[in-house]
Amino acid sequence: MEGLFSDVLMHDETLFIDESLFDYKYVPEKMPERNNEIKEIAESIKPLFSERRGSNLFIYGRPGIGKTASIKFVFNELKQTSSEVTPIHINCWSNQSTHAIALELARKSGLIFPPKGVPADLIIKNAIKKLKEKKGLIICFDEADRVNELSIIYQLLKELDNTNFILISNNNEWKAYIEPRLLSRLNLKNLEFKDYNEEQMNEILSRRAGMALRQGVINKELINLIAGKSKGDVRKGMALIIESARLAERDASRKILKKYVENAIINLKDDAPTGLSNEEKRVLKAIKDNEGEISGRVYADYLNNEGELTLRSFRRYIKIIERMGLITIEGTGEGFHGKSRRLWIKK
């Protein structure tokens, strides 16, 4: 039997110059399609240089349209321009609990705590003490709707002067779930990231492909096809280009052909909204399969399909998915299985 990796040894040519340029963590050197939003973010920060608080921002828009990349673009330029204002970016997808956020704040303030064994209150206290040494701070909670408890933001608001806050969400309605007292203190200014149009998508994907792929690997017609299938989600477009290139490499083709793009579209097809974890997709599927049913019956179906969450965790996921604007919850009132709730997919 021929070795599984013998083809790798036979030829090491690749269609990629640098595949990492397609990674979601990569921050482009220029983002002309988001110039207006980038300038708005920068303007909100500028008062910090005069030891005044700027505007706190609520940034919203669909996944994959440049929200995080724009923030990181501004933060990168801020670091290169001055050390007076310190930007801190918290990925709330990876850090959802108060303890995890406290550890991340401490780490980015220059303190290191063990991942377990130290109470969140003590970590936050030490992190705040360190952060108070900064002339100005800008703290971004990216995918803030993932945070289990927002009280940590209220504590930071009370303790830190000359600090701006940026909250990012894929759901423009999530702000309504913020506790009124915290919302009043934040006084958030809305900044909407609208979907890219077809021309912008073509330009973004062409620009990135031109840097990441060898010359002549993909043509304009196929970029247009991928842009159309990406439905405004740049990350999805990047993923389709990568998959198309890998399929071409598997056939030892020096170019991406239409058949590779079409197969990539099939391979990466996913009816669930982008930006969901695998467990969130499973919970959402259970709701979709039992739309209009009370939550207990939905949970029973979830368990029957090899779900592993406890009822308490399942309910927490329901709240997260509701905050993302994907479902609506209707109380059944007293007298019908206690205080049950019916779950509906949001149209």
Residue with tokens 């408890």: 149
Which residues, 6 or more positions from 221, have their beta carbon under 8 angstroms from its beta carbon? 258
Please give the biggest Cα pair distance in the chain.
71
DSSP assigned state of 196: P
At residue 10, the pLDDT reads 43
Tell me the HSE value of 164 on the side-chain side, using a 13 A CA sphere.
28
Vertex 134, ends 55 and 79: CA angle to 5°? 75
Written as one string, the DSSP assignment of 234-271 is HHHHHHHHHHHHHHHHHTT-SS--HHHHHHHHHHT---
Confirm if 256 and 209 have CB atoms less than 8 A apart.
no
- What does each C-alpha distance from 103 to 106, 165, 182 come to in angstroms? 5, 18, 22
Take residue 299 and report the two structure tokens written for it.
Answer: 């949970």
pLDDT in tens, the chain (347 residues): 556 555 544 455 799 999 999 988 899 999 999 999 999 999 999 999 988 888 999 999 988 899 999 999 999 999 999 888 999 999 998 898 999 999 999 999 999 898 888 999 999 999 999 999 888 999 999 999 888 888 899 999 999 988 999 999 988 888 888 889 999 999 999 999 999 998 999 999 999 999 999 999 999 999 999 999 998 899 999 999 999 999 999 999 999 999 999 999 998 886 666 667 788 888 998 998 998 899 888 999 899 888 888 888 898 888 888 877 788 888 765 544 556 788 988 76
At 26-81, the pLDDT tens digits run 999 999 999 999 999 999 999 999 888 889 999 999 888 999 999 999 999 999 99
Which residues partner with 88 through β-bridges? 139
The reply to whether the predicted model has a pTM over 0.75 is yes
CB burial string 119-158: b at 16+ within 10 A, e below: ebeebbebbbeebeebebbbbbbbbbbbbbebebbebbee
Rounded to 10 deg, the angle between the 311-323 and 295-304 helix axes is: 110
Q: With H, G, I as helix, E, B as strand and everything else as coil, classify residue 340.
A: coil
Amino acid identity of 48? L
Instruction: Specify the amino acid at residue 207.
Output: R
DSSP category for residue 91: E
Q: Is 2 buried (19+), middle (13-18) or exposed (0-12) by CB count in 10 A?
A: exposed
Question: How far apart (Å, rounded) are the C-alpha atoms in residues 123 and 116?
Answer: 11
Cβ atoms 72, 87 nearer than 8 A: no
pLDDT digits (tens, 9 = 90+) for 184-195: 999 999 999 999
Burial of 336 (0-12, 13-18, 19+ CB in 10 A): exposed
CA 241 – CA 268 distance, rounded (Å): 11
- Say if CB 323 and CB 176 are below 8 A apart: no
Domains and CATH numbers, the chain: 6-21+196-267 (1.10.8.60), 32-192 (3.40.50.300), 278-345 (1.10.10.10)
